[in-house]
Structure 1
Amino acid sequence: MNTLKDILLKQTGVKVIDASIDYKDYVAFDLSAQHTDELDLDLTDAEKFEDFVEEYLSKNQAKVAYGGYLEKRNLYKRSTNFNDDNLEERNIHIGLDLWIKAGTSVLSALDGKIHSFQNNTFLGDYGPTIILEHEIEGFTFYTLYGHLSLESLTGKREGQPVKKGEKIAELGKPPVNGDYAPHLHFQIIKDIESKKGDYPGVCSFSEVDFYRDNCPDPNLLLKIKE
């Protein structure tokens, strides 16, 4: 019997941002805590961080920087949304980030329908977010698109059908997008439970095994670098 991983691996030609950009123009991007500490990179200033992304892309002659699945980061230390004094720190990223300019088109990964959407407004959160529902070979699963423009939520309705490759949104600017340098947070979710318009994109160390299973590596679907 097929697993969700099997189904994801069978999909081809999947893109979630600007279909005109070839995967050969993508470059891997390391935002792990160890690496950003070495760089002495200020992650709290979205403008400086955007400049850093642009310099990185230029240096690598690339158009999109990608990465971050199961990466332990310092990026979330600035927000109480991830650092409640009474709880274990959440600092392990469980989606894939695609770093490119605000206004870039965001595309539906697969045929499906809009499950839910909302503006998640805490500092460091997703900002405007859309979640799609997909059914393939009897499997129902979800894809999440975070850090969008506010206009991306206009005219949306739950149950609205979408086609693979259809433009569903655009990337937002800080501070609307959660106050980050512009990028897409893309995540696959097996069981979304009762959540709507939101789902954890960062977890604590003790939760990694659960989220690794419930949120498989998005690159199984995208196949950016094979």
Structure 2
Amino acid sequence: MNSFERNIEQYQASLRFLFPTIAFEKVIAPNMSIGSSFFGGDTDHDDLQEAAKRLKKFQQKHPTALLANGYLEQRSFYNTPTFQRKLNGTIEYRNIHLGTDFWVPAGTAIHAPAEGKVVISHNNDYHKDYGPTLVLEHQFSDLQFYTLYGHLSRSSLELSEVGKTISKGTKIGYIGDEIENGHWVPHLHFQLITDLLGNTENFNGVAFPSEIKKWKTICPDPNLMFEEYLPAAE
């Protein structure tokens, strides 16, 4: 256990602070990794109507569960030219997911799991980007870190402007729909960050496999933030 992991334990919060309007009894992780059949033949995740149907069917099988998944999951969503580069003569995709996705409906209110200050409030309005994005800075006596909230509604940026001080449990935004959230089935991308690396509008949510050792340090497991356990996909 490193120093960050030891220090953040005392600031853990329940997921019920993050989603106070959602009732759930457990957390379950659908498998969306490369090789999974979760989205059928739509490996690019562009058929949002079909993806939504599959998510709804999965949720119906687990009616008392909060669906959350994705930390360090390798996903075919990102195997597109936008996320590729050539490395040593071969193509490498930036497809290792650095956060946890919470698959909750558009319009769901998001509340801060810890006190902090808004340092990024920006609409990354590109296909398969975050859309409206918030980043909070959390500063305690023995710890500084950041939390990122992606795929929000545009109204979230008006609610949480840069510089605003946030108390634990304060409403900071809402889940956006596919029209404004970067063209995804509605969900929250939540990410822990130890160093913003100078970014003021956006931050990587996926990493190249060859760089995962570095990114695991910069973006620790979101499990560390919450009292409930976020399981890996079966």
For the criterion TM > 0.5, the same-fold answer is: yes
| 1:58–1:190 Cα change, 3 Å | same
Q: Of the candidates 194, 197, 200, which is equivalent to residue 196 of structure 1?
A: 200
In the alignment, does 2:157 pair up with 1:153? yes
Q: Of the candidates 66, 84, 94, which is equivalent to residue 98 of structure 2?
A: 94
Question: 2:102 aligns to what SS in structure 1?
Answer: strand
Q: Which residue of 1 aligns with 2:78?
A: 76
| 1:9–1:134 Cα change, 3 Å | same
Q: Deviations over 1:17-38 (max 9, x none)?
A: 4224355243212111111379
Gaps of 5+ in 1: none
Q: Which residue of 2 aligns with 1:178?
A: 182
* TM-score, normalisation: structure 1: 0.90
* TM-score, normalisation: structure 2: 0.87
Whole-angstrom distance in 2 between the partners of 1:66 and 1:9: 20
Whole-angstrom distance in 1 between the partners of 2:8 and 2:61: 32
Quick check: 2:8–2:143 contact (8 Å CA) kept in 1? no
Q: Which residue of 1 aligns with 2:31?
A: 30
AA aligned opposite 1:176: E
Question: 1:33 aligns to what SS in structure 2?
Answer: coil
Quick check: 1:26–1:66 contact (8 Å CA) kept in 2? yes
209-218 or 69-78, which moves further after superposition? 69-78
Deviation of residue 92 (structure 1)? 0.5
Equivalent residue pairs, number: 225
Q: Deviations over 1:11-60 (max 9, x none)?
A: 34333642243552432121111113794455211222112111110112
Q: Of the candidates 128, 137, 144, which is equivalent to residue 140 of structure 1?
A: 144
Whole-angstrom distance in 2 between the partners of 1:5 and 1:151: 33
Q: Which residue of 2 aligns with 1:3?
A: 3
Quick check: 1:128–1:177 contact (8 Å CA) kept in 2? yes
Quick check: 1:143–1:187 contact (8 Å CA) kept in 2? yes
Quick check: 1:96–1:185 contact (8 Å CA) kept in 2? yes
19-28 or 187-196, which moves further after superposition? 19-28
RMSD in angstroms over aligned alpha carbons? Answer: 2.3
Quick check: 1:27–1:62 contact (8 Å CA) kept in 2? no
Whole-angstrom distance in 1 between the partners of 2:70 and 2:137: 23
Question: Alignment identity in percent?
Answer: 33
Q: Of the candidates 61, 66, 72, which is equivalent to residue 59 of structure 1?
A: 61
| 1:52–1:17 Cα change, 3 Å | farther
Q: Of the candidates 220, 225, 228, which is equivalent to residue 221 of structure 1?
A: 225
AA aligned opposite 2:68: Y
Q: Which residue of 1 aligns with 2:51?
A: 49
Q: Of the candidates 105, 111, 126, which is equivalent to residue 122 of structure 1?
A: 126
AA aligned opposite 2:115: D
Whole-angstrom distance in 1 between the partners of 2:139 and 2:166: 12
Quick check: 2:138–2:146 contact (8 Å CA) kept in 1? yes
AA aligned opposite 1:13: A
